[in-house]
Amino acid sequence: MKVVIIEDEELAQQELAALLGELSIPIEIVAYLKSVASSVEWLTTNSQAFDLIFMDIELLDGQSFEIFQHIEQDIPIIFLTAYDEYAIQAFKYNSIDYLLKPVEQEELNSAIQKYNNLQKKLSHSVLKALQALVQKKNYKERFTIRIGDHYHYVHTSDIAYFSSTYKTTCITTVSAKVFPIDFSLNELETYLDPSLFFRVSRKYLVHIQSIEKASKFFHSRLKLKLTPKSTEEVLISRVKVPQFLEWMGSQ
């Protein structure tokens, strides 16, 4: 398991590292970060390089909650703090557990066990939720697009994938035509059948028919080859890989 420690006190970093070394599973600490600013910078460029974050709340330049004002983050977090007043706020941010300092080995063991249990249950629970949505909801069958002064429509079945770059969302059709559309990927997820479309990353929402192959990539990620070919690499984070593989073979 690869973890990041966000903690501004060097002694606290060392103590946590020692506790992690006592766990029954191998732990690799890939980064020590001490401030909101350094965390934002590092997480922005290394968002797929780890599995779990241990995060102190009071940092050198503010509270760690401020980090989430600058980045999108879907990695589980175990919060560490000397205070219990932030517990409710902490659980808004993918929190697995909330440990009070000084952290005890037994409490840390329990938090890691929660993480492991969550990982095992995630794929099954997500698939069940998707199946329930399919049964209850009618999904969009076509989208309106504008070409110059004219409006046309594209059937959802003709869409290979949606992509988002520079605050613009585009449709790429199975015939490799590209059209801008006035929806965010977050909005589109609510309009599309989740048995057919999957949000593989922050930038791509793909139809099952567009996936030519998925190949193993660095840091336990997957690299997708899409048809039509995408303009940039499409990578699936290690956290999403189990969910994606179950979705891909669920029909």
Cβ-count burial of 158 within 10 angstroms (0-12 exposed, 13-18 middle, 19+ buried)?
A: middle
Position 155 scores a pLDDT of 96
Compute the average pLDDT of residues 153-176. 94
Select the more confidently predicted residue: 116 or 41: 41
Predicted confidence band of residue 158 (pLDDT cuts 50, 70, 90): very high
Q: How confident is the model at residue 120 (pLDDT cuts 50, 70, 90)?
A: low
What are the two backbone dihedrals, phi and then psi, of residue 231, each rounded to the nearest 5 degrees? -80, -10
Report which of residues 133 and 236 the model is more confident about: 236
Under the banding of pLDDT at 50, 70 and 90, the label for residue 124 is very low
Task: Give CA–CA dist 98/151, Å, rounded.
Answer: 52
Which domains does the chain carry?
2-129 (3.40.50.2300), 137-248 (2.40.50.40)
* Mean pLDDT (whole number) for 139-147: 91
pLDDT greater than 90 at residue 38:
yes
User: pLDDT at position 127, please?
Assistant: 44
For residue 126, pLDDT over 50 is answered with no
Model confidence pLDDT, tens digit, residues 80-94: 877 665 555 555 556
What pLDDT score does 123 carry?
47
Inform me whether the pLDDT recorded for 33 exceeds 60: yes
Q: What pLDDT does 101 receive?
A: 83
Dump pLDDT digits (tens) for 189-228.
Answer: 889 988 899 999 989 999 999 999 999 999 889 999 999 9
- pLDDT, mean over the chain: 85
Confidence of residue 97 (pLDDT cuts 50, 70, 90): confident
pTM of the model: 0.49
